Chains A and B, each alone.
Chain A
Amino acid sequence: MSAQTTIIKRTARPRITFEGVTAALRFILLDPTLLIAFLLMVLLVGLALLGPLLWGIDPLKLDFGAVFAAPSPQHPMGTDSLGRDIFARFYSGAQISLTVGVVAVVFGAVLGGAVGLIAGMSGGWVDVLLMRTMDAILAFPPLVLAMAITIGLGAGIETAAIAIIVTTIPWYARLVRSDVLRVRSMPFIEAAVAIGMARWPMIRRHVVPHIMPTLLIQAAASFGYAILALAALGFVGLGAQIPTPEWGAMITEGLSDALTGRWWVGVFPGVGILLAVTAANLFADRARDLLDIRAE
């Protein structure tokens, strides 16, 4: 209970202080699950940021003198059918996946949160219309809908990102709406109305802080989904296009070489996906245990 109130207090006035950051870091270091998730993320983000500086090989550079080189100190993850360095493509893939993950989470959380907030606060036909629309989106398995959207908008990383965002919006909207309905019936909202507080300041000050834990948990889970979905779209040819070093598309390329002994072409990108998604899921699980007010 005390942990929850401090979180709510802290999110009420989001200010990033040095003490706050060190306290958060200490908390992560002392929690094994969070520590694993954190270290995996540090590894991938580190590779994505430092890879180009330290390794510095162009992920698109062809080298026909070194086609299908097995992993070695010169090429830690080997080379593919065109002699491209797979390690360079691996960290470039990390850049792409992590960026799309962050973009998808930010837009999904903001848009989905807004839909849920508006539906929950206004009620009536606005609520019905918004939530019916969400239901219609949820009528498709998310990846199938994402495929349809990328077909409609044209294949590519940007449209894949849009498709991923659209499919995540209803998840946030539903959770946030039910949170809003729960909070709305609480005495302090009644009190705020009674003392004549205006609608929007009240929502900002007294409702939004209460939906933050839900948003955070869902955001972590959606981050993993976004990376997995981007790879799946890339795999069926609807996401990143050749020769972009995107993990899913790299697996497609590696597939034809996998059974001729060149396992490294397709295996490493999948490891990247697995690690990134696992980190996100671990974080989401732990955050759910720590923050979920309803799980009593």
Chain B
Amino acid sequence: MISFLRMRLAGALATIFGASLISFILLRVLPGDPVRLIAGPLASEQALEGVRRQLGIDLPLPVQYARYIGGFVTGDWGFSFTAGGPVREVFASRIAATAELALFAFVIAFTAALILALLATYRRNRIIDGFVRVISTFGLGTPQFWLAMILLIVFFEQLNLFPGPSGRLDASTLAPPRVTGLLTVDSLLAGRWDAFSQAIEHLILPALSLGFVPFAFLVRLLRANLLEMSREPFIVVVRSKGIGYWATHTRHVLPNAFLPTLTASGLILAELLTGSVLVEKVFAWPGIGALVVDSILRQDYAVVQSFILLTAVLYVGVSFLVDMLYGVIDPRTRNPVSQRG
């Protein structure tokens, strides 16, 4: 177990190293002349030289890379000239909005997927199963930003059931005192029911747009796993002992079907991260995703660069964690010799 852990950790670190090299080359070495961009088109040769030295672009590439990684690890992620502050502070002020949205999207997607997958496989309900298959097929082909637009057209413009693209609260509402940064939690802590219901209303459409693709993915996976598990011999044994169908389904089939789903959490995280970039902009959501899109348009690459490397670290970190969790939950996978699939 320890050697397996050590090997996995070394692998994860090597991957992050490779990823950092890729992002260094793509965003530091390749894109044009950042000096011109910062100093402006009218800057003198002397001023350019100054900026170059300040940025460290005159140094050899390996030194630049070392400084880049050193800066990243110590929390110096550069300066965002569009937001007018250090990237790390800008991220810190926006992470709660993104986290709250992603969390909501995930909870909606997971709950819906679980219920629908159980109903679809329980006694092989044909109608629900057909519905699940159609919706998951379309779900995987839906561009999130387009879905966001459709939801706004239908539920805001036409039916006026939910607020439009106006951020996390109505403009006239005062935000509750910041404790966690999650408005739903903070407003409850402050006992502000008006802010709470507004925060929920503002969350629903963005969360639906962001959660739809993970939902489609999860429901498909759960359905397939549930079907596969329900055909296992031990299920027949449980049934022949006289345990009811529903109890067998939820108590014996479901926990086993969950394990492969856990492996997909990396993919779901990736989906939520990229999704936030595509969805937040549509809803004027003050999160990191919208910031990244604005930074791309204004060529403020310090932001984009940090986002990309952070994403890789988070993504690799989560799949490492999942591997470890897998060993804890299912002892059969602990010993690499008996590892299955």
Contact = CB atoms under 8 A, between A and B. Distances in A.
Interface of A: 132-133, 135-145, 147-149, 151-154, 224, 228, 231-232, 235-238, 248, 251, 254-255, 258-259, 261, 263, 266-267, 269-270, 273-278, 280-282, 285
B315 interface: yes
26 contacts: A133-B18, A138-B15, A139-B16, A142-B274, A144-B311, A147-B304, A147-B308, A148-B26, A148-B304, A235-B143, A236-B293, A238-B296, A248-B143, A251-B146, A255-B149, A258-B157, A259-B153, A259-B164, A267-B146, A267-B149, A267-B153, A270-B143, A274-B142, A276-B141, A277-B141, A281-B140
Nearest to A237: B297
Interface of B: 11, 14-19, 21-23, 25-27, 29-32, 137-138, 140-143, 145-147, 149-150, 152-153, 156-157, 164-165, 270-271, 273-274, 277-278, 281-282, 293, 296-297, 301, 304, 307-308, 311-312, 315-316
| Top 8 A-B residue pairs of the complex, sorted by shortest distance between their CB atoms | A136-B18, A277-B141, A270-B146, A141-B270, A152-B30, A152-B26, A139-B19, A278-B141
A224 B274 CA distance: 17
A266 B29 CA distance: 36
B113 to A, nearest CB: 17
A146 to B, nearest CB: 9
Contacts of A231: 143
Given A140-B19, A251-B145, 6 more contacts: A136-B22, A139-B15, A141-B274, A232-B278, A269-B146, A270-B143
B273 to A, nearest CB: 6
B150 A140 contact: no
Contacts of B277: 143-144, 147, 236
Contacts of A259: 152-153, 156-157, 164-165
A136 B146 contact: no
Contact of B282 (A255, A269, A274, A278): A255
Contact of A136 (B15, B31, B304): B15
A267 B273 contact: no
A151 B15 contact: no
A151 B19 contact: no
Given A141-B273, A231-B143, A251-B143, A153 B296 contact: no
Contact of B27 (A148, A228, A237, A285): A148
Given A152-B31, A235-B145, A274-B143, A147 B164 contact: no
Contacts of A236: 277-278, 281, 293, 296-297
A274 B146 CA distance: 10
B26 A139 contact: no
Given A140-B311, A153-B30, A281-B140, A258 B15 contact: no
Contacts of A251: 143, 145-146, 149
B143 A273 contact: yes
Nearest to A259: B157
Contacts of A136: 15, 17-19, 21-22
A278 B137 contact: yes
Nearest to A236: B293
Contacts of A147: 277, 296, 304, 308
B141 A141 contact: no
Contact of A132 (B14, B29, B281): B14
B19 A270 contact: no
B142 to A, nearest CB: 6
A143 B275 CA distance: 9
Given A232-B278, A237-B296, A140 B315 contact: yes
A154 B177 CA distance: 43
Contact of B278 (A139, A154, A235, A261): A235
Contacts of B137: 278, 281-282, 285
Given A140-B312, A274-B142, A135 B15 contact: yes
Contacts of A285: 137
Contacts of A275: 141
B310 to A, nearest CB: 10
Contacts of B282: 255
A258 B149 CA distance: 7
B141 A261 contact: no
A285 B104 CA distance: 30
Contacts of B22: 136-137, 140, 145, 148
A237 B294 CA distance: 10
A266 B21 contact: no
Nearest to A280: B141
A238 B152 CA distance: 24
A144 B315 CA distance: 11
A263 to B, nearest CB: 5
A200 B153 CA distance: 58
Question: Which of A139, A147, A238, A267 has the largest count of B CB atoms less than 10 A from its CB?
Answer: A139
Given A141-B311, A259-B153, A274 B15 contact: no
Question: Which of A142, A254, A274, A285 has the largest count of B CB atoms less than 10 A from its CB?
Answer: A274
B72 to A, nearest CB: 15
Contacts of B156: 259
Contact of A151 (B26, B153, B165, B278): B26
Contacts of B14: 132, 135
A282 to B, nearest CB: 6
Question: Which of A149, A248, A259 has the largest count of B CB atoms less than 10 A from its CB?
Answer: A259
Contacts of B157: 258-259, 261
A253 B150 CA distance: 14
Contact of B152 (A224, A258, A278, A282): A258
